[in-house]
Chains A and B, each alone.
Chain A
Amino acid sequence: MAEAARFEHFVHGADIGVRGIGPTLADAFAQAARALTAVMVDPDRIAPREAVPIRCSAPDRETLLVDWLNALLFETATRHMLFGRFEVRLEGDRLEATAWGEPIDPARHEPAVEVKGATMTELSVRPLPGGGWLAQCVVDV
């Protein structure tokens, strides 16, 4: 039985690690994105009002995870939006995704911290022994 989709954080010195787990690799990437959002705000407090398409490609799965999270940070910074729901499609070295969210309302969302970037520290994308996938890295805050 594959792992149920979920996300968690792990400890890394001054920064914080984000980890997505899911039955498929795409689910693990989507959960890693929820973990990224959760560093800033509670993802369940974000209304899925607007859909933003995101595309990236990379020579390997690990780099693709970092690119995906950094693409979300770019959209957060330039659209002034937060995202709480993600649909990820993976094909070879390409990722196509839709991120749903809403404009940042500092009073309502109370963002705790801004994430500067996803890093290659503790970077891992791998199948889990019991089925399912894990995708993780440390983000710089």
Chain B
Amino acid sequence: MDTSRLVRVDEATWRLEPEGPMRVPAIIYGTEDLVRGMDDKVLEQTRNVACLPGIVKAAYALPDAHWGYGFPIGGVAAFDPDAGGVVSAGGVGFDISCGVRTITTGLDRSEILPVVEKLADALYAAVPVGLGRTGKIKLSDAELDAMLEGGARWAVSMGWGDPADLERIEEKGQMAGADPAAVSRKAKERQRAEMGTLGSGNHYLEIQEVAEILDPEAARVYGLVLGQVVVTIHCGSRGLGHQIGTEFLREMALAAPAHGIELPDRELACAPLRSALGQRYLGAMRAAINCALANREIIDHLARGVLRRMFPQARLALLFDVSHNTCKLERHRIDGEEKAVFVHRKGATRAFGPGHPDVPEPLRAVGQPVLIGGSMGTGSWVLAGAATSEEKSFASAVHGAGRAMSRHEATRQYRGDRIVAELKSRGVVVRAPSMRGVAEEAPAAYKDVDAVVAAAERAGLARRVAHLRPLLCIKG
């Protein structure tokens, strides 16, 4: 990104004052290396978001931001319904409520390593991955609607999850305000046989070891112990979310002129929060959030079944479950006044700081866990929401490494079987349905996740708690 037009506010904050149709400034968080490495399109897209009606404070791009469709991925923007604010399907993304959950096991790596290949086979057999694999669960129309209203709470009520998990999921496992009637027949049809499936692309299930602890007090509160093993799952709302994203993006783009909204880019498609279309999207999007929460709960349940069978001594407990593609109504302080605004986080994780009432009580003193997925070679991070995140970014932090190389380029440079062999020599066992898929997800195709989380810490969005190193990766 060309930084010549930006004002550098501090080491990790860059600012573009409003110009032309911009209603608020654009703020980019990141170290000089990361910001210079971003595509110019990230600034263009952040500037476009700053032009939308009812936006408050600023349009933000986080240290992992990259060129998305309409909104940048790694973007945050909040809208005031009282000031003509909008909701945008492109500001949430196709994979609604895609997110990450991490489960602590109480197992030491030494208990896993002798049987890691067997564990990989068992997990790969238990969790359907990749295109064309369906789950064992097939839902009737009534069950689909119950799932869309109930989220992880529904999954638990069906016996696919532990009731104790619910406290450790955003919205306590059930997003309020979901409207299954706003979800199309097509979207429901795509989901009927997809519950408990991981999907593909950058989605995964990993067994990881806690490789480094940077904040011992937060790690203690989170139940993270050096050398112990955790399970991390990254996936979203599957076909249902994709279909809702597709349908509303189209409808919002075509309806924009009727709503008096001029779009600098069609992909910014949005509708006033106080319009029938805006309300219908919110109802459908919240139903998709519940679908993602239910899906992760079920995948977790399948993985725990395998772990309990192989390691009866395991003490399995959910650390936390975050979503990083959402729009949520939240209260934030804006110009000294608390206001209810709709916060879009696209490729951004909510990161409530210490003491926030929506952080589960046992974790509240240190702040909300922020779970960051890296590539299958480099590992992942657990962060804690920083006290300053509220002021900096509507309490939001990064979501992952972000790609550094296109899929096409990755398949040109790498071969899946060689990557699997190389990772095995480094102590990471991989199972995947497609070697081309593995090549596209080559560790070198991603940015340095360590640099991204360090920048998030410097920018005051979140604090680093622990680094997780993969031992086993089930790749979608």
Let me know if A120 and B267 touch, CB within 8 A: yes
Let me know if A106 and B433 touch, CB within 8 A: yes
Residues from chain A with Cβ under 8 Å of B84 in the complex: none
Residues from chain A with Cβ under 8 Å of B73 in the complex: 13-14
CB distance from B295 to the nearest CB of A (A): 14
Residues from chain A with Cβ under 8 Å of B402 in the complex: 14
With contact pairs A13-B406, A80-B132, A112-B440 given, residues A120 and B39 touching in the complex (Cβ less than 8 Å): no
- Residue of A76, A104, A105, A114 near B199 (CB, 8 A) is A114
Residues from chain B with Cβ under 8 Å of A9 in the complex: 408
Question: Can you list, as one digit per residue, whether each of A92-120 has a CB less than 8 Å from chain B (1) or not (0)?
Answer: 00000000000011100111111011111
A73 to B187, CA, bound (A): 12
Binding-face segment, A20-28, A62-70, A127-135? A62-70
Smallest Cβ-Cβ distance to B66: which chain A residue? A13
Residues from chain B with Cβ under 8 Å of A74 in the complex: 186, 189-190, 243
User: A140 at interface (Cβ–Cβ under 8 A)?
Assistant: yes
With contact pairs A70-B246, A113-B437 given, residues A13 and B201 touching in the complex (Cβ less than 8 Å): no
A118 to B201, CA, bound (A): 15
User: A125 at interface (Cβ–Cβ under 8 A)?
Assistant: no
- Residue of B94, B269, B436 near A116 (CB, 8 A) is B94
Interface centre among B66, B131, B199, B243 (most CB of A within 10 A): B131
B residues 10-38 in Cβ contact with A at 8 Å = none
- Residue of B132, B194, B253, B440 near A106 (CB, 8 A) is B132
Smallest Cβ-Cβ distance to A141: which chain B residue? B201
B residues 388-422 in Cβ contact with A at 8 Å = 402-403, 406-409, 411
Residues from chain B with Cβ under 8 Å of A112 in the complex: 200, 411, 434, 436-437, 440
A40 to B189, CA, bound (A): 21
With contact pairs A74-B243, A111-B433 given, residues A141 and B407 touching in the complex (Cβ less than 8 Å): yes
Residues from chain A with Cβ under 8 Å of B440 in the complex: 112-113
User: B373 at interface (Cβ–Cβ under 8 A)?
Assistant: no
Question: Can you list, as one digit per residue, whether each of A59-89 has a CB less than 8 Å from chain B (1) or not (0)?
Answer: 1000100110010011011101010000000
Smallest Cβ-Cβ distance to A13: which chain B residue? B67
CB distance from B76 to the nearest CB of A (A): 18
Residues from chain B with Cβ under 8 Å of A70 in the complex: 246
Residues from chain A with Cβ under 8 Å of B67 in the complex: 12-14
Residues from chain B with Cβ under 8 Å of A80 in the complex: 132, 134
User: B317 at interface (Cβ–Cβ under 8 A)?
Assistant: no
With contact pairs A74-B243, A121-B267 given, residues A16 and B131 touching in the complex (Cβ less than 8 Å): no
Let me know if A114 and B254 touch, CB within 8 A: no
Let me know if A14 and B403 touch, CB within 8 A: yes
CB distance from A6 to the nearest CB of B (A): 16
A11 to B435, CA, bound (A): 21
Let me know if A113 and B201 touch, CB within 8 A: yes
A: number of interface residues (CB 8 Å): 39
Question: Can you list, as one digit per residue, whether each of B229-247 has a CB less than 8 Å from chain A (1) or not (0)?
Answer: 0000000000100110110
Question: Can you list, as one digit per residue, whether each of B40-55 has a CB less than 8 Å from chain A (1) or not (0)?
Answer: 0100000000000000
User: B106 at interface (Cβ–Cβ under 8 A)?
Assistant: no
Residues from chain B with Cβ under 8 Å of A13 in the complex: 39, 41, 66-68, 73, 403, 406
A141 to B226, CA, bound (A): 35
Question: Can you list, as one digit per residue, whether each of B132-143 has a CB less than 8 Å from chain A (1) or not (0)?
Answer: 111000000000
- Residue of A66, A76, A109, A113 near B250 (CB, 8 A) is A66
Let me know if B242 and A113 touch, CB within 8 A: no
Let me know if B189 and A78 touch, CB within 8 A: yes
Residues from chain A with Cβ under 8 Å of B94 in the complex: 116-117, 119, 140
With contact pairs A63-B254, A104-B131, A114-B130 given, residues A16 and B245 touching in the complex (Cβ less than 8 Å): no
Let me know if A77 and B69 touch, CB within 8 A: no
Let me know if A114 and B200 touch, CB within 8 A: yes
User: A138 at interface (Cβ–Cβ under 8 A)?
Assistant: yes
With contact pairs A11-B406, A74-B186 given, residues A114 and B131 touching in the complex (Cβ less than 8 Å): yes
User: B8 at interface (Cβ–Cβ under 8 A)?
Assistant: no
Question: Which 8 residue pairs are nearest across A and B when measured between Cβ atoms?
Answer: A104-B132, A111-B131, A112-B436, A13-B67, A121-B69, A116-B242, A114-B131, A112-B437
Tell me the B residues contacting A by CB distance below 8 Å: 39, 41, 66-70, 73, 93-95, 130-134, 186, 189-190, 194, 199-201, 239, 242-243, 245-246, 249-250, 253-254, 266-267, 269, 402-403, 406-409, 411, 433-437, 440, 476
Given A114-B131, A116-B245, A121-B70, output 18 extra A-B contacts at Cβ < 8 Å: A12-B67, A12-B406, A13-B39, A14-B402, A14-B403, A40-B131, A63-B253, A66-B250, A77-B190, A82-B132, A106-B433, A110-B436, A111-B433, A112-B434, A112-B437, A113-B201, A117-B245, A141-B201
A-B pairs with beta carbons under 8 Å apart, 27 shown: A13-B39, A13-B67, A13-B68, A13-B406, A14-B66, A14-B402, A15-B69, A63-B254, A66-B250, A70-B246, A74-B189, A74-B190, A77-B190, A77-B239, A106-B131, A111-B200, A112-B411, A113-B200, A113-B437, A113-B440, A114-B131, A114-B201, A114-B476, A116-B242, A120-B69, A121-B69, A140-B242
Tell me the A residues contacting B by CB distance below 8 Å: 9, 11-16, 40, 59, 63, 66-67, 70, 73-74, 76-78, 80, 82, 104-106, 109-114, 116-121, 123, 138, 140-141
